[in-house]
Amino acid sequence: MKLPRVLSLETLGFIAVVALFLGFGQSVGWRAVGVLQLVFSVLILRRREVPVGWEGREPAFHIRGLWALLAGVVSLGLAAMLLLFPEQTVMKLGS
């Protein structure tokens, strides 16, 4: 079993988002979440693979091919919504 690095890119992104939420408010924080979502969406579209499993363990299985592309496009749409309309997206998805 591979041990995760202490400061992975995901961890640094999380720290940056929390700092933006605390420093600049919800609108900027949700836009930062949209930027992270955009980065991960592009990674999904480039790899054409989505690992599925528990955090910290090897993936149980991978979604590949057309389904991975569909997941990437849906993720990209969510990223665009968070970047362009952060308050409305959070209110709509939260209700």
Residue 88 falls inside a structural domain: yes
Cβ(30)–Cβ(87) below 8 Å: yes
Stated pTM of the model = 0.81
From residue 10, give the alpha-carbon distance in Å to each of 4, 5, 55, 64, 84.
11, 10, 12, 22, 22
pLDDT band at 42 (very low <50, low <70, confident <90, very high): very high
Residue 1 lies in a domain: no
Q: How many domains does the chain have?
A: 1
Measured distance CA(88)–CA(5) in Å, rounded: 35
Computed over every residue of the chain, the mean pLDDT equals 89
Residue 17 lies in a domain: no
Average pLDDT value for residue range 2-6: 58
7 within some domain: no
Does the residue 37 lie in any domain?
Answer: yes
Owning domain of residue 80: 25-94
Tokens representing 51 are 């690992």
Residue 87 covered by a domain: yes
> Residue 57: pLDDT above 70?
yes
Q: Which long-range contacts (CB under 8 A, 24 or more apart) does 21-29 make?
A: 26/86, 26/87, 26/90, 27/86, 27/87
